[in-house]
């Protein structure tokens, strides 16, 4: 049965203001997980036999809209909707449509989404209509058999059709690939040619120690410093100042004219410039992806229709944002740095 999504969110009150953490960093970017569920089971992200949260624990779409709007009122300029797979949530386009109003008023600069691409054939046009102009598609390999092995449940053809639909709808597509040793480490040349040939940027991401999975992450981990050195033997990489608001450091590949990003939480963390916080689908705010400290925003959200308590909880949380994370992957460190899965925190 579909969720009821009929309530109207009142406008923000007088407690608007910037969010500045203890290290002087302005928090202007909120990543929001709208569900921990996904129609894939990627080997570096979750176990094949995941136990997902009871649906009653999830925030309603109206509550997500209210929370996101509170953050916009407090200075967030970029919202990224994530999951799990965000586009599998029922009535999710209602939330995009509601949040799109902040683009119309100028309060928000960008509304984006990270997706595995499986639902884009159905929703690309609707996303564009809501104000989304850019999507990140997670795609780790162009090989159909490898794709099936990595995602366990995924269909590469369906993702490719989704990318076609997104570009046809006018959405700018960026490809995100997690670098997995022994899986896709021989494919980066092909992925560069394919992505740049279609006008899409490509970003590689180091695997991170989040949540118990069925694999040993020391067998998966591939330092991007090694990848970059290898690429430089065949491509001309020029440092580029391009920024999307996220943690990627970009290079221009002169032979293609396209951009390639590197997200390196392990070999060269990006904490010094972190402007991000993450909101889970249950209303927990994580001030750092690599730390367990969190703030409960669901309680003040549900205790009062007035936003004063919610604003206070947000301010208190931002005041605890740490300087950085403590990610480690090695043979001596078998347990993940944090126990929660990426699908819970938001990709």
Q: Give residue-wise pLDDT tens across range 273-309.
A: 788 999 999 999 999 876 778 999 999 999 988 999 9
- The number of domains in the chain is 1
- With respect to residue 20, please indicate whether it lies within any of the assigned structural domains: no
Q: How many CB atoms lie within 10 A of CB 15?
A: 15
Instruction: Please give the helix or strand (H or E) that residue 125 lies within, else none.
Output: helix 120-130
Does residue 13 lie in a domain region? no
Identify the domain containing residue 212 by its residue range. Answer: 29-345
Residues near 17 by Cβ (< 8 Å), separated by ≥ 6? 74, 75
Q: Within 156-210, where are the H helices?
A: 156-169, 188-197
**19 assigned to some structural domain:** no
Asked if 148 and 43 count as a contact pair (C-beta separation under 8 A), the reply is no
Q: What is the pLDDT of residues 154-174, one digit of tens each?
A: 899 999 999 999 999 999 999
Residue 10, pLDDT above cutoff 70: no
| pLDDT at 193 (0 to 100) | 98
Is residue 340 predicted with pLDDT exceeding 90? no
- pLDDT value of residue 43: 78
Any idea what DSSP says for residue 2?
Answer: P
What CA–CA distance (Å, rounded) separates 332 from 218? 10
Which of 5-9, 36-40, 240-244 is predicted least confidently?
5-9
pLDDT reported for residue 208: 63
The whole-angstrom separation of Cα 9 and Cα 58 is 18
- Tell me the pLDDT band of 8, cut-offs 50, 70 and 90: very low
Residue 9 placed within a domain: no
At residue 177's C-alpha, the angle toward residues 32 and 94, to 5°, is 30
Query: In this structure, what CATH number is given to the domain that contains residue 43?
Result: 3.20.20.70
CA torsion angle 312 77 31 17 (round to 10): -10
Q: Are 340 and 334 in contact (CB under 8 A)?
A: no
Average pLDDT across the chain, whole number = 85
- Residue 5 covered by a domain: no
Separation of alpha carbons 57 and 63, rounded Å: 12
| pLDDT surpasses 80 at 11 | no
The per-residue pLDDT for 330 is 43
Tell me the three state secondary structure of residue 61. Answer: helix
Question: Would residue 144 count as lying in a domain?
Answer: yes
User: Do residues 65 and 3 lie in contact, with contact meaning Cβ atoms separated by under 8 Å?
Assistant: no
Q: What is the DSSP letter of 99?
A: H
């Amino acid at each position: 049965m579909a969720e009821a999504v009929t309530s109207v969110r009142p406008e923000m009150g007088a407690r608007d203001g910037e969010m500045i953490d203890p290290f002087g960093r302005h928090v202007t970017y909120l990543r929001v997980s709208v569900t921990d569920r996904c129609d894939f089971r990627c080997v570096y992200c979750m176990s094949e036999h995941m136990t997902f949260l009871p649906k009653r624990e999830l925030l309603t779409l109206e509550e997500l809209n209210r929370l996101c709007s509170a953050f916009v009122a407090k200075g967030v300029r970029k919202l990224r909707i994530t999951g799990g797979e965000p586009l599998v949530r029922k009535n999710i386009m209602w939330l995009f449509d509601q949040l799109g109003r902040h683009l119309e008023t100028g309060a928000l600069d960008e509304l984006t989404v990270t997706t595995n691409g499986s639902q884009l054939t159905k929703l690309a046009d609707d996303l564009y209509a809501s104000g989304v102009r850019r999507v990140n598609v997670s795609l780790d390999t162009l090989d159909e058999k490898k794709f099936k092995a990595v995602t366990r449940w995924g269909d590469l053809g369906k993702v490719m059709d989704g990318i076609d639909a997104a570009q046809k709808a006018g959405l700018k597509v960026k490809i995100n690939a997690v670098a997995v040793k022994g899986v896709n480490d021989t494919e980066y040349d092909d992925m560069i040619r394919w992505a740049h040939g279609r006008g899409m940027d490509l970003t590689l991401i180091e695997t991170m120690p989040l949540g118990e999975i069925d694999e040993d992450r020391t067998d998966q981990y591939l330092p991007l410093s090694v990848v970059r050195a290898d690429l430089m033997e065949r491509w001309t990489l020029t440092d580029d100042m391009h920024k999307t608001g996220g943690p990627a450091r970009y290079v221009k590949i002169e032979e293609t004219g396209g951009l390639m990003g590197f997200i390196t939480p392990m070999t060269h963390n990006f904490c010094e410039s972190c402007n991000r916080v993450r909101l889970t689908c249950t209303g927990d705010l994580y001030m750092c992806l690599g730390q367990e400290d969190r703030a409960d925003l669901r309680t003040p959200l549900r205790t009062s229709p007035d936003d004063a308590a919610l604003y206070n909880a947000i301010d208190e949380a931002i005041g605890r944002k740490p300087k950085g994370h403590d990610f480690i992957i090695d043979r001596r460190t078998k347990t993940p740095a944090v126990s929660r899965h990426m699908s819970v925190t938001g990709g």
